[in-house]
Amino acid sequence: MTVIDFSAFIGRLATASGETILPFFRTSLSIDDKSKTKDFDPVTEADRAAEAVMRRLIKASFPQHGIVGEEFGNEREDADYVWVLDPIDGTKSFIGGFPIWGTLIALLHKGTPVYGMMHQPFIGERFSGDNGSATYKGPTSERRLQVRRCASLSEATTYTTSPLLMNEHDRAVFGRIEQGARLSRYGGDCYSYCMLAAGHVDLVVETELKPYDIAALIPIVTGAGGIVTTWEGKPAQGGGRIVAAGDARVHEEALKLLNQ
């Protein structure tokens, strides 16, 4: 089977998860803290319900496939095809009522992300990619995604979810990026990468990401012509410290600053 064979099914996963999540959004819902440290790591009924729905659909349709999910762990992760699920990427925005969160669905083939989707059901947007191309579907339009050219960091708009999520050392290193960029903004989670793919942002720098935070976004950014690696320039699907850029020149400049 090819990636194209899976695209309609991924659309079903997005629709089912969105229908599960939306009744919880901007309501009084219970919030648990998964963190075992002082850092707040929220999870809601919506996170769990949406992942459970997607897992049921995957198991019914592709019982031989593996699943890696944020809320319910890993199953058959050594399978040739593995689904990587983050039911709500941006849970802190979700519980605050801000619509800058999304459901991340990735399909890995032999460890490599070959298809990814970010679905924002409240706004009605879907960003998808297969490394070769990327597409936006919204309430009023559908178009191909394309990163924009940016000659240098001094001309770039850069995003990170929050420097407070970084350890002290990485925060200081990230400061070099902020000092060199034309504009630095915070927030966004998965949306930052989608806006990079759409040509509105030039650079995204993050730390301590999990595989389910980034796997779906790699085929979208890459399909739009961008680059996603670790700070060391290695493949990013395992998570960790991540840098994504729309232009190879900005990516190269960022890597040099991050590794000084």
User: The domain spanning residue 209 has which CATH number?
Assistant: 3.40.190.80
Establish if 210 belongs to a structural domain: yes
Ligand-binding annotation for 247, yes or no, is no
In a domain, 196, yes or no: yes
Torsion, Cα of 178, 187, 89, 43 (10° steps)? 120
198 and 125 in a single domain? The answer is: no
Q: Note down the domain range covering 12.
A: 6-144
Tell me how far apart the alpha carbons of residues 5 and 19 are, in angstroms, rounded to a whole number: 23
Domain count, the chain: 2
Residue 214 annotated as lining a ligand binding site: no
Mean pLDDT by runs of 10 across the 260 residues of the chain is 74 96 87 60 81 96 94 91 96 91 96 96 97 96 97 97 93 96 95 98 97 97 98 96 98 96
213 annotated as ligand-binding: yes
Question: Known binder of ligand: residue 5?
Answer: no
70 annotated to bind ligand:
yes
Distance CA 24, CA 161 (A): 23
pTM: 0.93
Question: 122 with 11, same domain?
Answer: yes
CA distance 257 to 150: 17
Residues 41 and 139 in one domain: yes
pLDDT for res 6: 86
In a domain, 1, yes or no: no
Do 131 and 183 lie in one domain? The reply is no
User: 111 and 230 in one domain?
Assistant: no
Residues 135 and 253 in one domain: no
Residues 91 and 200 in one domain: no
Looking at residue 40, what is its pLDDT? Answer: 53
In this prediction, residue 163 carries a pLDDT of 93
